[in-house]
Structure 1
Amino acid sequence: MSEVFVRVAVRIRPLLPKEVLHNHQVCVRMVPGSAEVMLGSDRLFSFDHAFGPTASQDEVYESCVQPLVESLVDGYNATVFCYGQTGSGKTYTLGGGSLDEDGGIIDCVAQDVFSLLGEKEKHSDGVEATVRVSYMELYREELRDLLELHTVHKELHIREDEKGNTGDEKEKNHKNE
């Protein structure tokens, strides 16, 4: 795996029917043939990946997440972090739309992880894997586990040491050993 630790992608969603009904205008456009986005008529932003309103779930997954899954099965950690305002399309990208549409990133990751682990098991004796998954929502500094049905919102406490490093107590204790 290359030494790039963070990649940033942007996905521009189409206008919602409600927005079309109220004559809202598109203000974010893709620059053709690039990973750049234009805001308004003069503000240009560059990303590692950029997807327009017609991009498919598969296109986003294959470009941004599938390489992470392949590295994950080789023993690397991977995180997909979705950020944006309410209504920007995070849930759609992660979870997919209705049952008639393609699944989102979560569906594709689950399928690929277990498929790749199955392939590794076929070609190796005694390979054992443990899969741990987190699906968290951070909203207004409250953290919620989306895999736990009856989770109460928990206040997020970010701990910082005297050098400005962040992490939880368990992580800090491990580093001191």
Structure 2
Amino acid sequence: MSNITVCARFRPLSSKERRDHGDSVCIRCIDTETFILKDEKEEDVMFSFDRVFCEKSDQAEVYEILVLPIVRDAVNGINGTIITYGQTGAGKTYSIEGPGILECGEQKKGILPRVVDGIFEHIKHDKMAKYSIKLSMVEIYVEKVRDLFDLSKDNIQIKESKIQGILLSGATEARPIFFL
């Protein structure tokens, strides 16, 4: 079973950022766990995480290192959660979806389509088990929980049950059922 892993991912500069500021960046990656941030006073501040994905890290690398262990756990019946956090424009949607959830090629597709592919890849070899797969996707923004499968559900309530644990009451569950 996987433990909690805290990572930082830095997206490449946008064309607007390059136009306005050139190629200068305030982040310098040292290794796969450490980066240096140049603060407002032009002083270097070092940060360490379980993993640092620099601007050249591709979607497949993020999936294989960070997400694949969660997929393996999910296939073994252990719930998995991926939380992306950051300010607007930081690259959360790009990491999760890729440039477009249905419009991008294998190299640029995000975590979500890779998770779905990975789950089915893992279970297709198990001829003895029956699987029921449920997937919910929500976004928490300005303290409201929004269903990403049904955008009209924009204030989902979070409830806790002694038997079922944390519940997102009313969240849409994509639920394809496959019998192998």
Is 2:105 the partner of 1:103? no
Q: Could you tell me which residue of structure 2 aligns to residue 26 of structure 1?
A: 25
TM-superposed CA distance for 1:92, in Å, is 0.4
Equivalent residue in structure 1 for 2:123, among 100, 109, 117? 117
- How many residues matched? 156
CA contact (8 A) 1:141 1:156 kept: no
Equivalent position amino acid for 2:74 in 1 = L
- % identical equivalent positions: 35
Gaps of 5+ in 2: 166-180
Per the alignment, in what secondary structure is the counterpart of residue 129 of structure 1? strand
TM-superposed CA distance for 1:138, in Å, is 0.5
Is 2:129 the partner of 1:131? no
Deviates more, 1:48-57 or 1:4-13: 4-13
Q: Could you tell me which residue of structure 1 aligns to residue 36 of structure 2?
A: 38
Q: Could you tell me which residue of structure 1 aligns to residue 91 of structure 2?
A: 89
Per the alignment, in what secondary structure is the counterpart of residue 131 of structure 2? coil
Gaps of 5+ in 1: 158-167
Q: Could you tell me which residue of structure 2 aligns to residue 5 of structure 1?
A: 3
TM-superposed CA distance for 1:172, in Å, is 3.8
Per the alignment, in what secondary structure is the counterpart of residue 78 of structure 1? coil
Greater fraction helix: 1
Equivalent position amino acid for 2:116 in 1 = A
Per the alignment, in what secondary structure is the counterpart of residue 119 of structure 1? coil
CA distance in structure 2 between the aligned counterparts of 1:95 and 1:76, rounded to whole angstroms: 23
Greater fraction strand: 2
TM-superposed CA distance for 1:150, in Å, is 2.8
**So what's the TM-score if we normalise by structure 1?**
0.80
Alignment of 1:155-170 (within 5 A): 168-169=159-160
Q: Could you tell me which residue of structure 1 aligns to residue 155 of structure 2?
A: 154
**So what's the TM-score if we normalise by structure 2?**
0.79
TM-superposed CA distance for 1:148, in Å, is 1.2
Equivalent position amino acid for 2:8 in 1 = V
CA contact (8 A) 1:30 1:52 kept: yes
CA contact (8 A) 1:141 1:155 kept: no
Deviations 1:86-125 (A, max 9, x none): 00000000001252452100011000101111111x2x2x
CA contact (8 A) 2:147 2:156 kept: no
* RMSD over aligned Cα atoms: 2.0
CA contact (8 A) 2:32 2:53 kept: no
